[in-house]
Structure 1
Amino acid sequence: MTQNASAPQPLKIAVLGAGTVGTDVIRLLGQHPKDFAHRAGAPLEIIGIGVRDSSKDRGPHVDRSLIRDDLEALVEEADIVVEVMGGQEPARSLILHALENGASVITANKALLATDGPALYEAADRHGVDISFEAAVAGAIPLIRPLRDSLAGDRIERVLGIVNGTTNYILDAMTRTGQSFDDALADAQRLGYAEADPTADVEGQDAAAKASILASLAFHSRVHLDDVFLEGITRISSDDVAAAERLGRVIKLLSVVERVTGEDGSEAISARVYPVMLPNAHPLASVGEAFNAVFVEAEAAGELMFYGQGAGGAPTASAVLGDLVSVARNRVFGGKEPDESFYAKLPTAGLDALSNPFYLALTVVDRPGVLADVAGILSENGISISTIHQEGATDPEGSDASAHIGIVTHTAGEKDMQTALEQLRSRDTVTSVDSLVRVEGE
């Protein structure tokens, strides 16, 4: 709607969700109403706060008279709907209902966008309204708009980032203190960095949803959550962290999306989330505690780094409110956010299309010839060794003595490495394959 510039009518805002993020959105809007009115071109008036449990105390910043549990009716009354309730349903149905009724939508719901984004984007396009989601990836860090708008004149080759604060805190604590995974997780939960059920974070599901969104934006294609290879950090041990330190590296959980070119010259998209060893000199290696950072490699712009707080009420609310101002301007002055761009329609590639160095940790029988046997198996699969380190025998006096060895390979194919692992596990001289961690950023 276009308002009279001399006396703009307030825009009616419905907020769905009054948890940590929703409460900070409400608080900040209430603290600076005149500033937001000037920036948006009209006053922003919260007409209702939609919640599933209207009896719950929402704190001093939430006006109880605005609490609503008739969520469908609420979105029908709004010019702009801010969805910060999370989850698949009822968020999906409410967003679609809002779009169909002509309301623009701001959402922080990365899981929903990673699974049902195209349906939501199509509904927004069909009804001539906006759907914006800066807060869905990396919290307060401006990332979605730079990828979609600022770099629209460039060709993005690769995006890799630390986009989950919980796992970064855990890995950073393991690196700094030598803690085990379990102890670092317990500390993260005590400090509020990890949920009581941390599965979505530590198994990489949260980071995978964000990788899906980043890949779709960067490569103008639709990349579904199911297209993202996923491996969490629960298998990372304090021994792995110590080995990385010894090698001048650090372990981080990365979301990596990039173009890959096949032997026939065709392009595809690789999207994956897994723990990697990064050289200490890499810009992402120094990102500590619960911070996020994203590293973008573009053809013309070169290397770009985005860094900041990737979670939390106020940081995420900052991104939500940035979208709110932008969407409000469009409704006041006319205009629309860019539609979904998926013209490239690139397919996705599995891990078999990739090659990279690896760190491999084995426990082997401590006797002559074993290292040569291991090296031979790797060589038979086209894998050459960069460095090898033996950490000593567990029982140097006994007949069943075993040794721990760590190997860093040169670049090797994922498929070749998996074949080599199967062969190593079948050898009676190999007690166990303890770890396999990819090496990035060489």
Structure 2
Amino acid sequence: MDVLGSKQESGWRNKRGEASLSDVHRSIDISQSGSRWRRLAAFAGPGYLVAVGYMDPGNWATSLAGGSKFGYALLAVALLSNLMAIVLQSLCARLAIASGRDLAQACRDAFPKWVSIPLWALAEIAIIATDIAEVIGTAIGLNLIFGIPLELGVLITALDVFIILYLQKMGFRWVEAFIITLLGVIAVCFAIQIFLADPQWGGVIRGFFPTTEIVTNPEMLYLALGILGATVMPHNLYLHSGIVQTRNYGHTLPEKKEALTYATIDSTVALCFALLINASILILAAAAFNSTGRTEVAELGEAHSLLAPLLGLAIAPTLFGIALLCCGLNSTVTATLAGQIVMEGFLKMKLQPWIRRLITRAIAIIPAAFVTIWYGDAGTAELLILTQVVLSLQLSFAVFPLVMFTASKAKMGELVAPIWLSGIAWLIAVVIAGLNVKLLVDFVSG
């Protein structure tokens, strides 16, 4: 290791260990002799895996509820959340490329065990909350398209492990191709539905400008935090800092700087695409439901059944179901990878992907199956929104360490975040923490 690298390593309590996802670590070559566009294309992929987490089934529930109840007003929250996500995900790429660590490894190497172990537990809770949303969303998608009962659909979701195993054996580029293809299907489905809904575009534009009511109205704040929790997700921070390292970008400072530039472009473009999808869900709910007086639509099944009569075309609910199923399948892949990164990074514990997947999915299936059997569609809708608020509450425990590490010259070396970027990141971290405190106060006070 060179002198610069040695100085950088001295900023950590523990030495860097084996990389997470070691079977795909630096497995994708970046040709230095190719054109700039070819190198940029070689970096394209991780951002879209991250973007999946910003449009998972839990996001659908909060966006549907927000759009049907408050019209276009919460579009400002979707935009603000996306801008926060762009900043935080760029920091994830910076941490990975500068230190060679994902966020889980960085927490393990920077903090004593009495800090890192609780952080690991909180990260696992966030992944389980994410998985519950995916179980419910995929089960509803199967029900809407094929008529499979929700209870059976919840159990069928355990089989998705075979999709992941097959893709991982073929190579990480195939995983990315699978994700991007399904994202394309989702985009087409929503483009058609938005065209059919014919929203008030003046209201849409005004919706992207925030109002004080978002903070002063407890019900609106609850949904806003749900959207925030569904957009900026804790497991995505761990995921991105791990999968960026699938690229073999070299070890010199110029190569790392170029890698950081391309990785940031990749995640920013992908997250702008995610904003389009998230905004589409909210706009569809506002145009189809709020404008017709149906202000309490939060259940995915109910939204599906109402789309055909409201939009006047039988294909509308089918497109809704297909997009939802694609979201569930996509989120399954990324949650599995995030789970591996968290467990390997914090605990240095390696499990076969299928074992890790079955354990996580079994934990998620139990509450999902119970709520589905006993409370039906209404219960699953409430559980979906609750999982997103849980994710929001967990978020600070991933965001603060990330901002702390990337602002440290001792840990990041020459790739330390600029002061202006660290300042914005700290502001985001404080805003997220403050909103969560407000949510808890409102919850306790009834």
Q: TM-score, normalised by structure 1?
A: 0.22
Name the one with the larger strand percent.
1
Name the one with the larger helix percent.
2
- Tell me which of the two structures has the higher relative contact order, counting C-alpha pairs closer than 8 angstroms and 6 or more residues apart: 2
Q: TM-score, normalised by structure 2?
A: 0.22
Bigger radius of gyration = 1
